[in-house]
Amino acid sequence: MRWQGLFADLEAQFEQAAAAELAGEVSERTRREAALLRMVDRLRPGAGHPLVVTVAGHGVLRGRLVDTGCDWLLLEEPGGRELLVPLAAVLGVCGLGVRTAGPGTEGAVAKRLDLRWALRGLARGRTGMAVALVDGSLVTGTLDRVGADHLDLAEHGLGEARRVAAVRQVRMVPLPAVAVIRSG
């Protein structure tokens, strides 16, 4: 009987050690997976949900998350206007919950849909917009073109069409200076 008790005790110790090792491995894998998550991986599952986004030089934005790219997010304000926000200007996001998309789960094409791609789409549309900069200033006009690291904005009143007589100047804006682009 002593032998049976000893073997039962050794078996229980082995099971405890195996369970502790498994728990440690699960914790380590969880930390490793969390370390690979990007901001966009946290944002993507929030599509359709209301968010509160704090932006450098602009303050707090409230709206429904419409879409995300590799370095931008698109919000729709309660009035229906859309806000394109570079992730580099985001200081914080509330309302996401704990859901995440796996790291790198977007397709190869989606990975290339960066801020410049979104801005080029706006430039093709030739609609007026307000561009808030990270220093808090606001400029209005029409995107003329988008380069590798900047955009050219023909400045004119928000309600005006882009006509030569209406354009006050063309401003080159470095992309890191953009905080929010609000549709006209």
Contact 72, 87 (CB under 8 A): yes
The pLDDT, as a whole number, for residue 100 is 63
pLDDT in tens, the chain (184 residues): 577 776 677 778 778 877 777 777 766 665 666 666 888 888 988 889 999 999 999 999 999 999 999 899 999 999 889 999 999 999 999 998 766 665 565 555 556 689 999 999 999 988 899 999 999 999 999 999 999 999 999 999 988 888 888 889 999 999 999 999 998 6
Q: Which tokens is 159 given?
A: 């309600």
Per-residue pLDDT at 97: 74
Whole-number Å distance between alpha carbons of 25 and 31: 10
What local confidence, expressed as pLDDT, does residue 135 receive? 96
Beta bridge partners of 154: 142, 170
Contacts with 44 (C-beta within 8 Å, 6 or more apart), sequence order: 68, 101, 105, 106
**Which one, of 176, 168, 121, lies nearest residue 143 by Cα?**
121
pLDDT of residue 9: 77
Tokens standing for residue 79: 């009035």
pLDDT at position 104: 60
**What is the side-by-side strand order in the sheet with 178-183?**
90-94, 50-55, 59-68, 72-76, 82-86, 178-183, 129-133, 138-146, 150-155, 169-174
Q: What share of the chain is helix, strand, coil (3-state, %, to 5)?
A: 35, 35, 30
pLDDT at res. 131: 96
Q: Which helix (H) or strand (E) holds 18?
A: helix 2-36
